[in-house]
Amino acid sequence: MVKNNTLRTAPDKSGHFGPYGGRYVAETLMPLILAVEEAWNGAKTDQGFWDEFEGYARDYIGRPSPLYYADATTKHFTNGDKGAKIYLKRDELNHTGAHKINHCMGQILLARRMGKTRIIAETGAGQHGVATATVCALFDLPCTIFMGAKDMERQAPNVFRMKLLGAEVRTVKSGSASLKDAMNAALRDWVSNVHDTYYLIGTVAGPHPFPEMVRDFQSVIGKEVREQMMQREGRLPDTLIASIGGGSNAMGLFHPFLDDESVSLIGVEAGGLGVDTDQHAASLAGGKPGILHGMQSYFLQNEDG
């Protein structure tokens, strides 16, 4: 049930979540982004599209992923009559070893529906790159992955996997040579190849409709948790905890629970040396609103942006 005044109905027609989101992209890309939106609006209301997605989710990704009762962890954190029963949602057991495959499968089905013949993506640690390369191999589409030079060094096994799957991995050396710059490079490639290319964005980021789309594909996580908890415990969980980098797994887990007041949602960002230092990755806790990568959101930035 969707309540009135619910956060679950966002974004609005122009792709805003309150002041956030939107479409801050070069005009060259706007017609294409409007075409992605039109295709997505058609797909999301088409039962045939979701049947196809669910078929691949079951037979290729291996969904539903198990909900595991972590007995030892539960005991470890139990102190007298204080503590909680801890369950782990095992999305790392998906094909390719992460939740990223959920939105990759959904988006590549959309790209095929749009008749796109080339896929590009950015990747940080490489999980999204591996998942993208995998769905591209499945559907025999050429695939280019942009990855920061520093990340390629740190995550060499994933670079190897992507190449093994037939993807071209392009080294991004500009800026800080990490995920942010990989996304810049992918956007530049997209501007240069608007006619045949689909940009398969790897998190709840980018211009509308990407955040909504990635959220809706990832929501399979939260929907399963809801069903599995009802089966196991006969009630909803008290708390959901998710790690937040870009936010795709957290949004996927949280979104089906946004209207449940009894369920508290906790996102955990990387603290580094502490949010009061300049060596952390907590953009929500330590950042401020800004505009980057096609959207208004929270970013870590200096006073000049």
Partner 1 sequence: MSRIEHTFKALDRPALVTFITAGDPDYAASLKVLKALPDAGADIVEIGMPFTDPVADGPVIELAGQRALNAGASMGQTLKMVREFRANDQNTPIVLMGYMNPIFAYGIEAFAKDAASAGVDGLIIVDLPPEESADLQKAANAHGIDIIRLITPTTDEKRLKTLLEGASGFLYYVSITGVTGTVSADLSAIAPHIEMIKTHTNLPVAVGFGIKTPEDVKNMAKIADAVVVGSAIVQNIADLKNSANLDEVIAKQVKSLSSALK
Query: Smallest gap, in angstroms, from Cβ of residue 10 to partner 1?
Result: 17
- Is 206 or 256 the residue whose CB approaches partner 1 more closely? 206
Stretch that binds partner 1, among 16-24, 124-132, 237-245, 261-269 (CB under 8 A): 16-24
- Is 194 or 285 the residue whose CB approaches partner 1 more closely? 194
133 φ, ψ to 5°?
Answer: -60, -35
Nearest CA among 26, 37, 7, 19 for reference residue 296: 19
Binding mask of the shown chain, residues 171 to 210, with x at each position contacting partner 1 by CB under 8 A:
---xx----xx--x--xx--xxxxx---------------
229 φ, ψ to 5°?
Answer: -65, -40
Applying CB under 8 A, does 114 fall inside the site for partner 1?
no
Applying CB under 8 A, does 32 fall inside the site for partner 1?
yes
Applying CB under 8 A, does 14 fall inside the site for partner 1?
yes
Distance CA 139, CA 135 (A): 6
Applying CB under 8 A, does 263 fall inside the site for partner 1?
no
- Environment class of 215 (CB within 10 Å of its CB; exposed 0-12, middle 13-18, buried 19+): buried
- Environment class of 4 (CB within 10 Å of its CB; exposed 0-12, middle 13-18, buried 19+): exposed
Applying CB under 8 A, does 304 fall inside the site for partner 1?
yes
Stretch that binds partner 1, among 19-27, 43-51, 127-135, 245-253 (CB under 8 A): 19-27
Length of the chain: 305
The residues pairing with 82 across neighbouring beta strands, listed in sequence order, are 79
Applying CB under 8 A, does 41 fall inside the site for partner 1?
no
Stretch that binds partner 1, among 27-35, 67-75, 159-167, 224-232 (CB under 8 A): 27-35
- Interface with partner 1 in residues 123-162 (CB under 8 A): none
Distance CA 18, CA 297 (A): 11
Q: Around Cβ 244, how many Cβ atoms within 10 Å?
A: 22
Query: Smallest gap, in angstroms, from Cβ of residue 202 to partner 1?
Result: 16
Query: Smallest gap, in angstroms, from Cβ of residue 65 to partner 1?
Result: 35
- As a whole number of Å, the CA-based R_g of the chain is 19
Positive or negative, the CA dihedral 191, 192, 195, 197 is negative
Applying CB under 8 A, the residues found at the interface with partner 1 are 14, 22-32, 174-175, 180-181, 184, 187-188, 191-195, 289-294, 296, 301, 303-305
